[in-house]
Amino acid sequence: MVRVSGVVLDRYSGDPIPGALIHLGPYRTTSRSDGTFEFDVPEGTYILTASAEGYSQITRVVDVVEGTYLTVLMTPIVTLL
């Protein structure tokens, strides 16, 4: 098992996004109040998905090795009136 850590941020403001749901293959966690998260997973290639209220869901492929740090930039959903 290797430790994967990272942070979920608003793409435009750079503010952390607390409570984002992050899936790394079959593993899942939620970002903390400062936007950070951690996983302990086997090395390998995974599909990462992240979702948070008010933001577009993102999906990307990541290669995981010891010390992998992921910066997840999420785009706010804009509603035009």
pLDDT tens digits for range 4-46:
999 999 999 999 999 999 999 999 999 999 999 999 999 999 9
pLDDT reported for residue 39: 93
pLDDT reported for residue 71: 98
Whole-angstrom distance, CA of residue 24 vs CA of residue 1: 14
Number of independent structural domains in the chain: 1
Residue 79 confidence (pLDDT) above 80? no
Q: Is residue 79 part of a domain?
A: no
- Contact between 9 and 74 (Cβ < 8 Å): yes
Q: Which helix (H) or strand (E) holds 51?
A: strand 44-51
Residue 20, domain CATH = 2.60.40.1120
Q: Is residue 32 part of a domain?
A: yes
pTM, full prediction: 0.92
Q: Is residue 80 part of a domain?
A: no
The type of residue at 20 is A
Residues forming a β-bridge with 16: 9
Show the domain range for 66: 2-72
**Mean pLDDT of all residues in 59-74:** 96
Give Cα separations from 53 to 5, 14, 77 (angstroms).
Answer: 21, 16, 9
